[in-house]
Amino acid sequence: MEWVLFYDGDCALCTASVRLILRFDKHQRIAFAPLQGRLAQDMNLASHLTEDGGTLVVLRETDACLFLRSDGWIELARALGGGWRLFSLVRFVPHAWRDGLYRWVAKNRYRFMGKHPVCPLPDPALHNRMRH
């Protein structure tokens, strides 16, 4: 695995997105870790866990480069490869617009899909790809 996706483990939208990414990551390039977890704390990434915007951090392990918000989604498209790379064309949309949309969804994510009282236990396929 070359990428680690840090996500809000309490957010139903975020955990649903992780399950979707898991399904499409045929080459198993992406590992997953909740922003509430020890690894995120050890890497000082827990600060990105805010209700009004910062909920996704992608770490490319080959060079330790971090991608936040819409840049994280673009990097995930690269990691998934195949037809998903077309999503990378979004990088030509002005950064302020992309991140503005990202922040709006992030700010409203609990209203859209709710919040888990605790980080849900992963299914077996996801459990093998979790970083702690």
In tens, the pLDDT along 17-70 reads: 888 998 899 899 999 998 888 998 898 887 777 655 567 788 898 899 999 989
Report if residue 13 sits inside a domain.
Answer: yes
User: What pLDDT, on the 0 to 100 scale, is given for residue 127?
Assistant: 62
For the chain, what is the domain count? 1
115 within some domain: yes
Provide the residue range defining the domain that includes 82: 3-127
Mean pLDDT of 4-22: 87
The reply to whether the predicted model has a pTM over 0.85 is: no
**How far is it, in rounded angstroms, from Cα 49 to Cα 123?**
23
CA-based Rg of the chain, rounded to a whole angstrom? 14
Is residue 132 a part of any domain in this protein? no
Is 43 contained in some domain?
yes
pLDDT tens, position by position, 56-109: 788 898 899 999 989 999 999 999 999 998 988 999 999 999 999 988 988 888
Q: Does residue 78 form part of some domain?
A: yes
Distance CA 37, CA 100 (A): 27
Reduced 3-state DSSP string for 22-79? HHHCCCCCEEEEECCCHHHHHCCCHHHCCCCCCCEEEEECCCCEEEEHHHHHHHHHHH
In a domain, 92, yes or no: yes
32: which 2 tokens?
């997953």
